[in-house]
């Protein structure tokens, strides 16, 4: 690939990312019925430019869901300490990411965040096949982490509950720190 071709691909990727970021912001602020023209303006492109990348609202919403799923995985992986060579390494990264380590996850899972906005609309029907595949991938990752399955599930769901309560009056920063430490302690298992 020539240099001009590489630059064109990067420009397309940047524009696509800008549109997805703008869609995320607009949907959080106005819901999934926000107009494509509003999303395009927020992204700094024309509506026809948006339509060049996403031929329909459904295609844009599906891409946004895929984008969000990918970002959540990236955030969790970024919080895995690769120097930990013992069972529970992935689960500890999950806990760290969901209990204050990831600004992105805190924003996504907040009661006013994107996941709430998408879950409360017809976008949920678009995401069902993506969510089933994503759920299998999460389940496989936790199963391979070396923790007892029930413990991993409890830690995982508790971390998800905590991230939804961050920045609400129901969870103080001190309580979050305490809960995080308890969850991390649950990921430590004795080996023979």
How far apart (Å, rounded) are the C-alpha atoms in residues 172 and 165?
9
Structure confidence at residue 30 as a pLDDT band (50, 70, 90): confident
Average model confidence (pLDDT) across the chain: 87
Give the global pTM. 0.84
Structure confidence at residue 6 as a pLDDT band (50, 70, 90): low
Structure confidence at residue 191 as a pLDDT band (50, 70, 90): low
**pLDDT tens profile 115-140:** 777 765 555 566 677 788 888 999 99
**pLDDT tens profile 97-121:** 999 889 989 888 887 777 777 765 5
| Number of C-beta neighbours around residue 107 at 10 A | 17
Which pLDDT score, from 0 to 100, does residue 125 have? Answer: 61
Contacts of 120 (CB under 8 A, 6+ apart): none
| Number of C-beta neighbours around residue 69 at 10 A | 17
3-class state of residue 169 by DSSP: coil
**pLDDT tens profile 146-169:** 999 999 999 999 999 999 898 889
Which pLDDT score, from 0 to 100, does residue 5 have? Answer: 57
> Which domains does the chain carry?
1-55 (1.10.10), 58-192 (1.10.357)
């Amino acid at each position: 690939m020539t240099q001009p071709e590489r630059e064109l691909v990067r420009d397309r990727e940047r524009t696509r990312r800008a549109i997805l970021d703008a869609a995320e912001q607009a949907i959080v602020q106005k819901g999934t019925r926000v107009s494509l023209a509003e999303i395009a303006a927020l992204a700094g492109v024309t509506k026809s430019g948006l339509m060049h990348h996403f031929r329909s609202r459904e295609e844009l919403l599906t891409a946004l869901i895929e984008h969000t799923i990918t970002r959540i995985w990236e955030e969790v992986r970024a919080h895995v300490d690769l120097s930990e060579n013992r069972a529970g390494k992935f689960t500890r990264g999950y806990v760290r990411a969901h209990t204050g380590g990831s600004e992105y996850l805190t924003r996504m899972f907040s009661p006013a965040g994107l996941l709430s906005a998408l879950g409360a609309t017809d976008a949920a029907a678009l995401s069902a096949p993506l969510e089933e595949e994503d759920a299998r991938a999460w389940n496989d990752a936790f199963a391979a982490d070396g923790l007892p399955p029930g413990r991993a599930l409890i830690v995982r769901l508790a971390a998800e509950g905590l991230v939804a309560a961050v920045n609400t009056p129901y969870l103080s920063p001190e309580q979050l720190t305490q809960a995080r430490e308890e969850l991390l302690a649950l990921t430590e298992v004795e080996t023979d």
